[in-house]
Amino acid sequence: MERLLVTGGAGFIGANFVAHALAHSEARVTVLDKLTYAATREALDSLPGDRLELVVGDVADAGVVGPLVDVADAVVHFAAESHNDNALADPSPFVSTNLVGTFTVLEAVRRTGTRLHHVSTDEVYGEAAADEWFTESSSYAPSNPYAATKAGADHLVRAWVHSYGIDATISTCANNYGPWQHVEKFIPRQITNLIDGQPPKLYGAGRQQRDWIHVADHSAAVWQVLAEGRVGETYLIGAEEVHTNLEIARMLLEIFERDPGELEFVADRPGHDQRYATDPTKVRTELGWTPTHTDLSSGLAACVDWYREHESWWRPVKAGVEARYAARGQ
């Protein structure tokens, strides 16, 4: 694989994946990214520039995507609108980027026969029951606008494999944490609140469960599926770290040596899924992938250090993000 096209490669996971790809291969990487509010251009600045190119453009624009796919050996498709609260406020860009963008990529690879890996989310399976773990045979049951667009995109990929024989794989991953995640998301929001002397803000009673994986482990898994995954297959990726939001907030309070009761309960998210939990047996046994960040407390502590060291990156957007949450009672 000499030339890799990474859509959404200036986003949180995309940028971490690009770093992984450059470090683990000699490939030249082209990032196609619209540089929305969620993009994090600085993450690409420190990477080897001689093998990395950034093209600013819309993944839903066939005129931009086509020529880039023409010269790529493989495409990894991360580009998406990714935040649930934004989708609830305005689903329109989610339909355009997540559905039409994926359709645009699919039509390009259908024409060229280029290998495609599509990055999806465990949210496509909807809310898990109390002791349920998602597997590759779980039914699609998305319950919010973001998840519905991601599920729709997965269905397009599956249909293009089945009907046109394109060379594609899908991965659905659990909640990621790590460097360069936007401060609108749960863990960076609470870390930066704590840095600012504020309490963690929990939706509802904080009892919802999420399954956390370090972004570096997600990147390694995507890299392995790209290299060795079987065409048409879906691989679930997760590190089996299911915790309530309350537990995560308490872990952060402990890292900051603050009172465990210093919490603020705010308005809940409408239609909030109570639990996600991902069973990664297939990617572990079939491809031999295994997570390396297996201690969540130390992963969170390292993440806290990272946000302390990168305040100049997140500080300019923090107040605006908090103002939008405050307007919704969150």
**73 in active site:** no
Backbone phi and psi for residue 234, each to the nearest 5 degrees, phi listed first: -110, 140
Which residue, 63 or 197, is less far from ligand DAU as judged by CB? 197
Residue 189 binding ligand DAU, by CB under 6 A: yes
Residue 245 binding ligand NAD, by CB under 6 A: no
Classified as helix, coil or strand, 262 is coil
Neighbouring-strand partners of residue 275: 209
How many amino acids of this chain bind ligand NAD (CB under 6 A)? 31
Q: Which does 189 bind (CB under 5 to 8 A by kind): ligand NAD, ligand DAU, none?
A: ligand DAU
Residue 203 binding ligand DAU, by CB under 6 A: yes
8 A C-beta contact, residue 44 and residue 116: no
Residue 144 binding ligand NAD, by CB under 6 A: no
Q: Closest approach of Cβ 88 to ligand DAU, in Å?
A: 10
**140 in active site:** no
Choose which of 7, 82, 149, 171 interacts with ligand DAU (CB under 6 A).
Answer: 82
How many amino acids of this chain bind ligand DAU (CB under 6 A)? 20
Neighbouring-strand partners of residue 264: 201
Choose which of 4, 6, 8, 75 interacts with ligand NAD (CB under 6 A).
Answer: 8
Residue 174 binding ligand DAU, by CB under 6 A: yes
Helices and strands counted in the chain (H then E) = 13, 12
Residue 154 binding ligand DAU, by CB under 6 A: no
Q: Scanning residues 233 to 262, which ones bind ligand DAU (CB under 6 A)?
A: 245
Q: At residue 176, what is the residue type? A: N
Residue 293 binding ligand DAU, by CB under 6 A: no
Rounded alpha-carbon distances, angstroms, from residue 243 to 58, 206, 239, 319: 36, 10, 12, 28
Only one residue has tokens 């880039």, namely 68
Q: What distance in Å separates the CA atoms of residue 65 and residue 320, rounded to the nearest whole number?
A: 32
Tokens of 231: 């065409």
Q: Which does 203 bind (CB under 5 to 8 A by kind): ligand NAD, ligand DAU, none?
A: ligand DAU
8 A C-beta contact, residue 197 and residue 260: no
Of residues 33, 58, 81, 123, which has the active-site annotation?
123
| Nearest residue to ligand NAD, scored by beta-carbon proximity | 11
Residue 72 binding ligand NAD, by CB under 6 A: no
* DSSP assigned state of 184: T
Task: For residue 308, count other CB atoms closer than 10 A to its CB.
Answer: 11
Backbone phi and psi for residue 266, each to the nearest 5 degrees, phi listed first: -120, 175
Residue ranges in 172-310 assigned as alpha helix (H): 186-195, 215-228, 245-255, 281-287, 296-309
Residue 38 binding ligand NAD, by CB under 6 A: yes
Q: What distance in Å separates the CA atoms of residue 115 and residue 72, rounded to the nearest whole number?
A: 9
Tokens of 320: 């605006």
Reported as type and span, the H/E element at residue 287 is helix 281-287
Of residues 33, 58, 81, 122, which has the active-site annotation?
122
Residue 179 binding ligand NAD, by CB under 6 A: no
**2 in active site:** no
8 A C-beta contact, residue 167 and residue 231: yes
Q: Closest approach of Cβ 245 to ligand DAU, in Å?
A: 4
Write out the catalytic residue numbers.
122-123, 146
Binding residues vs ligand NAD (CB under 6 A): 7-8, 10-14, 32-36, 38-39, 58-60, 78-82, 97, 101, 119, 121, 150, 173, 175-176, 182
Binding residues vs ligand DAU (CB under 6 A): 82-84, 121-123, 174-175, 185-186, 189, 201-203, 206, 208, 210, 245, 269, 276
